[in-house]
Amino acid sequence: EAQVTQNPRYLITVTGKKLTVTCSQNMNHEYMSWYRQDPGLGLRQIYYSMNVEVTDKGDVPEGYKVSRKEKRNFPLILESPSPNQTSLYFCASSFRRLGPGEQYFGPGTRLTVT
């Protein structure tokens, strides 16, 4: 089954404790992206990747890191999480080599930073 998977689905952590949220897709998509969703703000893009070893900042990249060492995986890293990073996070991927195109979204990761 074609899908985007994220782990963990739920995470509660404390300020400053490094964490990684994994994202994997099995559709051979070149383009992958991370979003955060907050009430009243819709989805805002954090980082995106056009292909392996190619990443770029989205609209809200501060406090986040990403890597794209393999085509199927695009982990999101929070080196020192803070409470303002409490949010619902989505990973997405698409076929469009030159742009985001029609994205497939993962099920989401709800992160709480205390």
Q: Does the protein bind another protein through residue 8 (CB under 8 A)? A: no
3-class DSSP state of 73 = strand
Binding segment for another protein (CB under 8 A), chosen from 18-26, 45-53, 65-73, 76-84, is 45-53
Binding segment for another protein (CB under 8 A), chosen from 15-23, 29-37, 62-70, 78-86, is 29-37
Q: Does the protein bind another protein through residue 62 (CB under 8 A)? A: no
Structure tokens at 63: 């406090």
Q: Does the protein bind another protein through residue 87 (CB under 8 A)? A: no
State in angstroms the smallest separation of the CB of 26 from another protein. Answer: 16
- Between CA 85 and CA 83 the distance in angstroms is 5
Q: Which residues share a beta bridge with 111? A: 11, 87
Write out the E strands in 1-114.
4-7, 10-13, 19-25, 31-38, 42-51, 54-57, 65-66, 76-78, 87-94, 104-105, 109-113
- Report the residue number, 34 or 85, with the smaller CB distance to another protein: 34
State in angstroms the smallest separation of the CB of 66 from another protein. Answer: 13
Phi, psi of 85 (to 5 degrees): -95, 5
> Which listed residue (72, 77, 104, 112) binds another protein by CB under 8 A?
104
Interface residue list for another protein (CB under 8 A): 4, 31, 33, 35, 40-45, 48, 50, 56, 58-59, 90, 92, 98-108
